[in-house]
Amino acid sequence: MTMDQVKYLLDESDIPQAWYNIAADLPVPLPPPLHPGTQQPLGPADLAPLFPMSLIEQEVSTERYIEIPRPVRDVYRQWRVTPLYRARRLEQALGTPAKIYYKYEGVSPSGSHKPNTAVAQAFFNSEAGVRRISTETGAGQWGSSLAFAGALFGIEVKVFMVRVSFDQKPYRKALMQAYGAECIASPSELTEAGRAILAADPASPGSLGIAISEAVEVAAKNDDTKYALGSVLNHVLLHQTVIGLEALKQLERAGDYPDIVIGCAGGGSNLAGIAFPFLGEQLRGGKKVRVIACEPAACPSLTRGKYAYDFGDTAHLTPLVKMHTLGSTFMPPGFHAGGLRYHGMAPLVSHLKELGLIEARALQQRGCFEAALQFARAEGILPAPESSHAVKGAVDEALRCKEEGQARTILLNLSGHGHFDMGAYTDYLSGKLEDRDYDAPAVARALEQIPAVGG
Amino acid sequence: MTMDQVKYLLDESDIPQAWYNIAADLPVPLPPPLHPGTQQPLGPADLAPLFPMSLIEQEVSTERYIEIPRPVRDVYRQWRVTPLYRARRLEQALGTPAKIYYKYEGVSPSGSHKPNTAVAQAFFNSEAGVRRISTETGAGQWGSSLAFAGALFGIEVKVFMVRVSFDQKPYRKALMQAYGAECIASPSELTEAGRAILAADPASPGSLGIAISEAVEVAAKNDDTKYALGSVLNHVLLHQTVIGLEALKQLERAGDYPDIVIGCAGGGSNLAGIAFPFLGEQLRGGKKVRVIACEPAACPSLTRGKYAYDFGDTAHLTPLVKMHTLGSTFMPPGFHAGGLRYHGMAPLVSHLKELGLIEARALQQRGCFEAALQFARAEGILPAPESSHAVKGAVDEALRCKEEGQARTILLNLSGHGHFDMGAYTDYLSGKLEDRDYDAPAVARALEQIPAVGG
């Protein structure tokens, strides 16, 4: 027990007025998305069937700050500013000289960081008169968050949920339904993309790539329906920067600044959310930070993928974006951090990795669950399996500090709680959980199918 | 969407320095607990095998304020002050002139109000050198909270979990294990009390009364083990008053004061936590508030029970306390708000009901789930099934305000989130959930077995 400060709160008036757009500070511009047919850079009109124009403008903007509309801030106020904690009890348990801070996004109504963008996307869609949105979800954090946001803004939400998570996490499905959304296991019979996958493999566990295809197809074929994505795209990462902007202020209040910023990475949005504001400081001449993306060893796009133009989905309905990819046809195995089971990585995160501004690390799931339990017993909060990758990354760095006798300051994004993921913890506690390497031959086959672009 | 204030936070420095003890302000003293053998008032020594002396002193104290030790406040700081919300979106959905405020205790690490007393009990036990605690749990909110607190203070926790909840809520069990506690389905073969029940009914669904017997037996028979209870006792209700003390300050900040205070009631601690500080104001000459206890129709101790001396457990190992009781041998049916499945009611809550200071209302579960979904779709937070009883009570009062054209101020305690209870919501959403009246003949039989005390 310590009597020192452990929690750093801000006033509601400290909720950021604007999101931070790292495109304004990039030393090299982001390679543009390409039209899947012509392979020419996309224009705003190409995206209009899927997104309202306000979000398309954010997607391509190079303005440094983009104002958060008042109705979005009004909803943010319910759980933001989220707490920043000093993990003193974990530091003691590790015997490390490092200072570990964690930003806790699990206090949102759906228990993760996803409402930061779900609320924004639902607002901009409702402002554009949209009444229906289709989307995909992996672990269900995104789907339940968009369901929540849809309920607030009077938008019907249809969620294609990756089959393996649909079966592993029935409670996430129930949460979406409780918010009034429709939740469908993907691949489904409802779309051409789904039917094609099921024809080839009736027992397909699904993947985010497939679920994206289904949701995009529904939006493309229905004039009254738009599409929403929970990660990867620039505007999604933009909305998540409230996390890092708040953390910057909170650490200032604590009289501290991170040497290392850590997040888990599936599509890349929570990592971007915590890290981009700090990288922005650095790019504008401020202090250098090491940013570490922690990804699953079974789906290691940043550490084992190719940096290339590829499709965001399996059925090749999306634009081509330049990113680290394991190949859009790669089917990740069904490990427990379903939110990290994506073949690609956000173009902005990939670009920053190429520029040497982000490091990446692939982690096995058992080590992550072990770190998560150590965290829970010290700090009281049980991390989501996705977030446990960031916890493991932070524990490793803290132990390295101990070995090296260095008192570094570590900031980690605890993106969500694990209350919906107790089945995974039950498996881990009963010794049923196995580590899974990535399937190298399958990745090699998928990499071969990446389209040749430009030359 | 509204642009008005919806959330009332306080500084960490506003976490109460002391718990409020309503015993100091009672117009008529609480009838004392009696020894089960002699039927004479209990002395502190009688409770010493079960509790550390500091908690026994709190149990019988008539001091108005009891200081919260610094290490307890240091842990409270992690999630306290909890937010007080104005439910503006729910008010709009109901079209009511009433103002509805809710105090949200689901932001704690285990997702409910229970850590308020779990942390305090673990601290006082650890201060007394106790290394092991046994306890019972219904829905699992209490067990997981004590498991969390035990992990922080280095105490081994053994939890007897009511069989029907153990089966319905495996994720709660997993959470206890994640915190390092042992969780056993009750009735079990580990105790005489459990074996006796199983001999009579091998398929017994268990009850809180049985689980209490098992936990008390383990503590009574093992010198190195104490017992902890998650509700009912005076010191437990005392620890929960941080809820109402904070709400008082927060409403002052909002420039408001409640006409009606509402909580769900199983053992009575979360209702007491929110209501006692307001009743204290009233008893000391302040404004009158209506306090409404919302209990399940299937286990209606306050509305259908007898106010009499009875045992707190099924095997009659506990002292006799004067309370509203359905009879300690009554076995409530297995409805979904497992935390409310208790045959009795906190003596303090019962006493205040007899004094006309608390009203009670028995509610059917389907109406509660319906109100909970309406709440979730408006406010974003999905209530625990227990808390949904308070939500239903508040919705009913708000609709009455609409009928009567009265703009009353309603304060409700949202004691926990429903993220561990999605199985119940799934049943409700699929139409599988049925209302259950209390079993009148079974209650009549159990009431006959209440011991004759005093005359």
Q: With CB atoms and an 8 Å threshold, state whether A2 touches B75.
A: no
**Chain A residues lying within 8 Å of B426, measured CB to CB:** 170-171, 174, 177
Sequence length of chain A is 455
**Chain A residues lying within 8 Å of B126, measured CB to CB:** none
To probe the interface with B, which of A10, A14, A145, A382 has the most B CB atoms within 10 Å?
A: A382
Q: What average pLDDT does the structure give for chain A?
A: 94
To probe the interface with A, which of B81, B84, B101, B422 has the most A CB atoms within 10 Å?
A: B422
Task: List, as one string, the DSSP characters of B23-79.
Answer: GGG-SSPPPPPB-TTT-SBPPHHHHTTTS-HHHHHHHH---SEEEPPHHHHHHHTTT
Q: With CB atoms and an 8 Å threshold, state whether B89 touches A175.
A: no
pLDDT digit string, tens, across residues A432-445: 999 988 999 999 99
**Chain B residues lying within 8 Å of A6, measured CB to CB:** 74, 77-78
Under a CB-based contact definition with an 8 Å cutoff, are residues B76 and B384 in contact? no
> Which residue positions in chain B have pLDDT lower than 50?
1-3, 455
Q: With CB atoms and an 8 Å threshold, state whether B175 touches A382.
A: yes
pLDDT digit string, tens, across residues B378-388: 999 999 999 99
Distance of alpha carbon A261 from alpha carbon A57, whole angstroms: 29
Contact of B104 with chain A, judged by CB distance below 8 Å, is answered with no
Distance of alpha carbon A377 from alpha carbon A371, whole angstroms: 10
Neighbour-count burial for B293-307, b at 16+ CB within 10 Å, e otherwise = bbbbbbbbbbbbbeb
**Chain B residues lying within 8 Å of A107, measured CB to CB:** 107
Q: With CB atoms and an 8 Å threshold, state whether A422 touches B152.
A: no
Q: Which amino acid is at B81?
A: V
Token pair in block for residue A348:
């902005």
Name the residue facing B429 among A1, A148, A177 (closest C-beta): A177
Q: Residue B225: enclosing H or E segment and its boundaries?
A: strand B225-227
Closest-CA distance, A46 to chain B, in angstroms, reads 32
Q: What is the band of A4 on the pLDDT scale with cuts at 50, 70, 90? A: low
Q: With CB atoms and an 8 Å threshold, state whether A422 touches B423.
A: no
Q: What pLDDT is recorded for position B186?
A: 97
Mean pLDDT, to the nearest integer, of A349-358? 98
Closest-CA distance, B82 to chain A, in angstroms, reads 11
Name the residue facing A77 among B6, B376, B417 (closest C-beta): B6
**Domain holding A309: CATH number?**
3.40.50.1100
Closest CA to A377 of A92, A55, A186: A92
Interface size, chain A vs chain B, as Cβ–Cβ contacts under 8 Å: 137
Is A421 inside a domain boundary? yes
Closest CA to A342 of A232, A238, A448: A232
B129 CB-near residues (< 8 Å, 6+ apart): none
Q: With CB atoms and an 8 Å threshold, state whether B1 touches A151.
A: no
Under a CB-based contact definition with an 8 Å cutoff, are residues A139 and A338 in contact? yes
Token pair in block for residue B63:
């001091």
Q: With CB atoms and an 8 Å threshold, state whether B429 touches A178.
A: yes
Nearest CA in chain B to A72: B1
Q: What percent of chain A has pLDDT over 90?
A: 88
Interface of B with A in 252-291 (CB under 8 A): none
Is A59 inside a domain boundary? no
Closest-CA distance, B337 to chain A, in angstroms, reads 17
Q: With CB atoms and an 8 Å threshold, state whether B109 touches A382.
A: yes
**Chain A residues lying within 8 Å of B1, measured CB to CB:** 71, 74-75, 152
Under a CB-based contact definition with an 8 Å cutoff, are residues A253 and A220 in contact? no
Q: With CB atoms and an 8 Å threshold, state whether A107 touches B111.
A: no
Q: With CB atoms and an 8 Å threshold, state whether B111 touches A6.
A: no
Q: How many domains, chain A?
A: 1
Contact of A423 with chain B, judged by CB distance below 8 Å, is answered with yes
Distance of alpha carbon A133 from alpha carbon A333, whole angstroms: 28
Contact of B419 with chain A, judged by CB distance below 8 Å, is answered with yes
Under a CB-based contact definition with an 8 Å cutoff, are residues B73 and B13 in contact? no
Is B49 inside a domain boundary? no
Closest CA to A88 of A362, A379, A325: A379
Is B366 inside a domain boundary? yes
Q: Is the dihedral of CA B7, B13, B15, B18 positive or negative?
A: negative
pTM: 0.94
Q: With CB atoms and an 8 Å threshold, state whether B175 touches A422.
A: yes
Is A352 inside a domain boundary? yes
Q: With CB atoms and an 8 Å threshold, state whether B3 touches A70.
A: yes
Beta strands B156-162; B132-137: pairing state: parallel
Q: With CB atoms and an 8 Å threshold, state whether B74 touches A171.
A: no
Mean pLDDT, to the nearest integer, of A178-193? 97
A13/B136: higher pLDDT:
B136
Contact of B432 with chain A, judged by CB distance below 8 Å, is answered with no
Distance of alpha carbon A122 from alpha carbon A180, whole angstroms: 14
Closest-CA distance, A72 to chain B, in angstroms, reads 9
Q: Which amino acid is at A94?
A: L
Q: Tokens 């409020």 belong to which residue?
A: B20
Under a CB-based contact definition with an 8 Å cutoff, are residues A19 and A80 in contact? no
Contact of A380 with chain B, judged by CB distance below 8 Å, is answered with yes
Distance of alpha carbon A41 from alpha carbon A23, whole angstroms: 17
Closest-CA distance, A260 to chain B, in angstroms, reads 23
Enclosing domain of residue B242: 69-111+235-448
Closest-CA distance, B11 to chain A, in angstroms, reads 8
Residue A76's Cβ-count burial label (10 Å; 0-12, 13-18, 19+) is buried
To probe the interface with A, which of B171, B370, B373, B428 has the most A CB atoms within 10 Å?
A: B171
Q: What pLDDT is recorded for position A2?
A: 41
Contact of A182 with chain B, judged by CB distance below 8 Å, is answered with no
Q: With CB atoms and an 8 Å threshold, state whether B381 touches A6.
A: no
Q: With CB atoms and an 8 Å threshold, state whether B422 touches A151.
A: no
Sequence length of chain B is 455
Complex ipTM, two decimals? 0.92
Contact of A93 with chain B, judged by CB distance below 8 Å, is answered with no
Q: With CB atoms and an 8 Å threshold, state whether B77 touches A148.
A: no
Q: Tokens 């909170």 belong to which residue?
A: A250
Interface of A with B in 105-164 (CB under 8 A): 107, 109-111, 148, 151-152
Is B187 inside a domain boundary? no
Distance of alpha carbon A290 from alpha carbon A64, whole angstroms: 22
Q: What pLDDT is recorded for position B13?
A: 82
Q: Tokens 């077995």 belong to which residue?
A: B449
Residue A333 above 90 pLDDT? no
Name the residue facing A422 among B77, B109, B171 (closest C-beta): B171
**Chain A residues lying within 8 Å of B73, measured CB to CB:** none
Is A427 inside a domain boundary? yes
Q: What pLDDT is recorded for position A454?
A: 64
Contact of B171 with chain A, judged by CB distance below 8 Å, is answered with yes
Distance of alpha carbon B388 from alpha carbon B414, whole angstroms: 8
Under a CB-based contact definition with an 8 Å cutoff, are residues B385 and B365 in contact? yes
Contact of A104 with chain B, judged by CB distance below 8 Å, is answered with no
Q: With CB atoms and an 8 Å threshold, state whether B6 touches A152.
A: no
Name the residue facing A178 among B6, B373, B378 (closest C-beta): B373
Show the CA angle centred on residue B371, arms to residues A422 and A179, nearest 5°. 50
Q: What percent of chain A has pLDDT over 70?
A: 99
Is B277 inside a domain boundary? yes
Q: What pLDDT is recorded for position B145?
A: 98
